[in-house]
Structure 1
Amino acid sequence: MAREPLSVVVTTFNNADTIGACLASVAFADEVVVLDSGSTDATRAIAEAASARVHVQPFAGYSAQKQAAIDLATHRWVLLLDSDETLPADAAARVRDALVEPTVAGYEMLRREWVFWRWQPARARLNHYVRLFDRGRARMSGHEVHESVVVDGPVRRLAAVIDHHGERDIEGRVDKANHYSTLQVRDRHTREPGALRLRMVAYPTVAFFRYYFLRGHWRGGWAGFIAARVHAFYAFLKYAKLYERRVSRRRG
């Protein structure tokens, strides 16, 4: 049976340290498209050396930039990766198998996180995202942050795990929490909830409990504990910045 051809799509900006491994892991694809936001390091040269089709445009926001990259793809089926993600060999095989006469509009894939100095523990809960999809029946959500693929049609969970080589240190993770909380407050999709002062006080504890205990990151030793604390800090920042915006509006 014939397999649907696959376009792998990656957005980049100064990712010379990770883009080579990312593209090497998807060398089986029929096409690799890289949309760069104007890197000043070797990102584009590395991508071109890996035979990717490289385009450049100014950064338009996470969701819009990824949508622009998807629109550059030639083939109907797209695998969307971040520049610091890789596809292990077993996951690549499952992606290829899924494209043999697919009967759904998209596939969710699990993602394993690198947490500072180790992989998250095997029994911790993995996040899952739609990453493999028919681009004729899918689009980016439009969110400023935590953007996702929205699929018009049935979606199935694929037994394949993406490896995410994320923030390598605590400073990077805290910087990301600060940046993402600002974007989330700015996002036109974000509705301002009530009881913001109560949420500032209570929700960081709830966020820590969910991440550390319910999602199983307590199994990850001190790396899991620190990540849970940063996650709680992110929750606090989000509500604190929403409250700051409310006060600023009242003061004109």
Structure 2
Amino acid sequence: MIPVSVVIITLNEAHIVGQTIAKAQLISNDIVVIDNGSTDDTVQIARRNGCRVYQKAWDGYGANKNKGIELAEYDWILSLDADEIPDDKLIASLHQLVLCDCNQVYDIKFRSYIGKKQVRFGKWGRDHHVRLFNRTQVKWMAAQVHETLLIPKGVKRERIKGNIHHYSVKDVAELQTKSETYAALNAVKYYGEGKEASMLKLYVSPVFNFIKNYLFCLGFLDGKAGWQIARTTFKHTHLKYLLLQKMNNSKVAKKVYIQKKFAIEY
């Protein structure tokens, strides 16, 4: 084991969280699970596998990840979602690290899937994130959507070998549902920030994002899956600005009720 705490956020992830925990146990003896009201067997699976489980109210992605960081035993944090599974190459790389510089963060390559099909191209195929860091220097931005790590200037980044396998959605229907959920969340966020939905954002940005994903990033090489992702990205971009326009036109922020699901990032 290495002096790293693995922090996992969960909500109704009984179908996969056991696999994530099994890999996490090869990394650390401290696995913290922040559960946000699961109604399936997620909590029982986590406790049965020796995790420290805390059930917390939902305050947003970044805020809830920070709750887990605060409860961790070690200062070094490996942050995972319940549907993100480290592979053996990454685990070996982690065991080789000398974690002596708190001003260092580690960037990890992601492999993303629709169901069991790996998406190799498009934006998904290029996905990578900083997920290993020292909590004395780095925290999550307390955002409802698209949580981002607040990394101070001067902190060094290093890419490490291995991958996190992200089983984000079971099928295209779930992809579309999560995309709509994120569009609503983003619209509320943008409204709160005083942003406007210009004609450029409404009509040009969706087309640009489609072309970038499908052509420039070679999404078409993923066949049907690449087309579905690019099309969903188009719809997501248009919908979030359409909802923002409606909010701004009404001069009143619409309270958007959304189902709490951990969604993919675009």
Q: Deviations over 1:71-110 (max 9, x none)?
A: 1101010100000010000011112222443474311111
Taking structure 2 as the reference length, the TM-score comes to: 0.86
Change (3 A) 1:239 1:122: closer
In the TM superposition, residue 117 of structure 1 has moved relative to its aligned partner by 4.8
Aligned to 2:239: 237
Aligned to 2:226: 224
Aligned to 2:17: 19
Structure 1 stretches of 4+ with a deviation exceeding 3 A read: 99-104, 122-125, 188-195
Contact 2:108 2:128 in 1 (8 A): yes
Amino acid at match of 1:12: T
Aligned to 2:261: none
- Which shows bigger deviation, 175-184 or 113-122? 113-122
In the TM superposition, residue 245 of structure 1 has moved relative to its aligned partner by 1.1
In the TM superposition, residue 198 of structure 1 has moved relative to its aligned partner by 3.1
Aligned counterpart in structure 1 of residue 213 of structure 2, from 211, 223, 228: 211
Q: Distance in 1 between matches of 2:49 and 2:118?
A: 27
Change (3 A) 1:251 1:88: closer
Paired residue secondary structure (2:251): helix
In the TM superposition, residue 143 of structure 1 has moved relative to its aligned partner by 2.1
Change (3 A) 1:155 1:13: same
In the TM superposition, residue 13 of structure 1 has moved relative to its aligned partner by 1.0
In the TM superposition, residue 216 of structure 1 has moved relative to its aligned partner by 2.3
Change (3 A) 1:250 1:164: closer
Q: Please list every run of 5 or more consecutive structure 2 residues that lacks an aligned counterpart in the other structure.
A: 255-266
Q: Distance in 2 between matches of 1:188 and 1:232?
A: 18
Q: Distance in 2 between matches of 1:250 and 1:68?
A: 32
Aligned to 2:166: 164
- Which shows bigger deviation, 121-130 or 50-59? 121-130
Contact 2:103 2:137 in 1 (8 A): no
Contact 2:43 2:53 in 1 (8 A): yes
Aligned to 1:133: 133
Q: Distance in 1 between matches of 2:109 and 2:54?
A: 28
Aligned counterpart in structure 2 of residue 182 of structure 1, from 181, 184, 204: 184
Q: Distance in 1 between matches of 2:83 and 2:253?
A: 42
Amino acid at match of 1:80: S
Q: Deviations over 1:184-206 (max 9, x none)?
A: 12226974555622321221111
Whether 2:78 is the aligned partner of 1:76: answer: no
Taking structure 1 as the reference length, the TM-score comes to: 0.91
Whether 2:6 is the aligned partner of 1:8: answer: yes
Change (3 A) 1:158 1:192: farther
Paired residue secondary structure (1:165): strand
State the identity as a percent: 27
Q: Distance in 2 between matches of 1:250 and 1:184?
A: 16
